[in-house]
Amino acid sequence: MITINLVPNARRRRQTQLTHEDRTLIFIVLAVLVVLAASYGYARWIVAQETNHLADLNVQIAALDSEQKLLDLNRALAQRSMAMETNIVTAVQLQVNTNQLLDDLAKDLPKVCTLTQTDITVLPGTVVLSASSSQFVDLVRFFNALSADTKFKDVHIDGYQIPYGTGAVVQGLQAQATMNLTLTWVGGGKNG
């Protein structure tokens, strides 16, 4: 049988013969597309599963709301008591035993001397003293003892007064020599 194609050459459909390589390429492309589609579908399915699992967990958590409130209250109370305890510890550490300071001063004070005024600024431990004695040399001994004492530093004489009798006999308080000192207490520590 003879087949006669009457369509003009320009409009004649190109009839190409698919080679083995072409078919292989098409197969590979289709296979890759199928794999991609399958992996996408699998990912969507996993996401959906995980979403359902999460929703289920949230439902169970919501059912235990009263326990959640109990736990929240427990944590809040624990936190608050901890903050208060920390505050107390800090405060106690800042407390200074001023009697210990007076004892330290008394150890250096000659018996014939009298402390007439003591001003203690606890932080940073600054002490301003006024001492009196009938003999100035005793006040000097006091100053020397304080200077040598490791519990004190920056011992400094702010001023002193020595009464000198001129004619009339000076007695009583008028006869007292006085000395004003400034020093810093370092040896007593805290809560001593």
Partner 1 sequence: MGRNIPVRLVVVILLLGVICFFYYRYGLSPQLVQLGDLRDQATTADAKLSTLREVQGLHDAFVRQNESYSVWIDQLAQITPVVFDQHEHTRFLLDLQAVGKASGITYTSIQISDASMGQGAAAAQPAEVKLAKTVGVTMNFTAKNYATMRQFQDTFRTKFKYVMVSSNLTISHGTLGLPGESNPYTCSMTAWMVLSPDATIVGAPAPVAPVPQPDVVQ
* Site residues for partner 1 per CB under 8 A: 19, 21-22, 25, 28-29, 32-33, 36, 39-40, 43-44, 46-47, 50-51, 53-54, 57-58, 60-61, 64, 67-68, 70-71, 73-74, 77-78, 80-81, 83-88, 90-92, 94-99, 102, 114-124, 173
Minimum CB–partner distance for residue 180 and partner 1 (Å): 13
Integer Rg of the chain from CA: 49
Minimum CB–partner distance for residue 188 and partner 1 (Å): 13
Minimum CB–partner distance for residue 50 and partner 1 (Å): 4
Nearer to partner 1, 33 or 162 (CB): 33
CA distances from 87 to 80, 81, 84, 113, 168 (A): 11, 10, 5, 42, 62
Nearer to partner 1, 5 or 19 (CB): 19
Closest CA to 105 of 123, 95, 118: 118
Tokens standing for residue 116: 């007439």
Minimum CB–partner distance for residue 2 and partner 1 (Å): 28
DSSP letters for 130-180: EEEESSHHHHHHHHHHHHH-TTEEEEEEEEEE-----SSPP-GGGG-EEEE
Nearer to partner 1, 77 or 137 (CB): 77
DSSP at 2: -
